[in-house]
Amino acid sequence: MDFWASLWDFVGFFFWTMVLVSYLYVLFAVITDVFRDREMSGCGKAGWLILMLFVLDSGTISVGEFEAIKSRALGGAQAGRVTD
């Protein structure tokens, strides 16, 4: 039993390490994209940086909002779909 517990601890460690590395990659990709924009002023770039690093938002949406966004993204393609 101890082997399986330590195995899942090992797998969990690598999973959360991958999640952290992926988060950092996306964060730095967005930061470099903002700083490459030549049309944005320096204050605008600093504002984006502050918002990305220090403002915490859950970003959750309701089920109704999800369905509305999904139907708009699919363009009503699922309305004519035949199910078995």
- Tens of pLDDT along 45-64? 888 888 877 777 666 778 88
- Please give the share of the chain, as a percent, with pLDDT higher than 70: 81
Is the pLDDT score of 4 beyond 80?
no
Distance in angstroms (rounded) separating the CA atoms of residues 42 and 48: 10
Mean pLDDT of 75-79: 62
Lookup: tokens for 63: 């089920």
At 20, is the pLDDT very low, low, confident or very high (cuts 50, 70, 90)? very high
Q: Which pLDDT score, from 0 to 100, does residue 84 have? A: 46
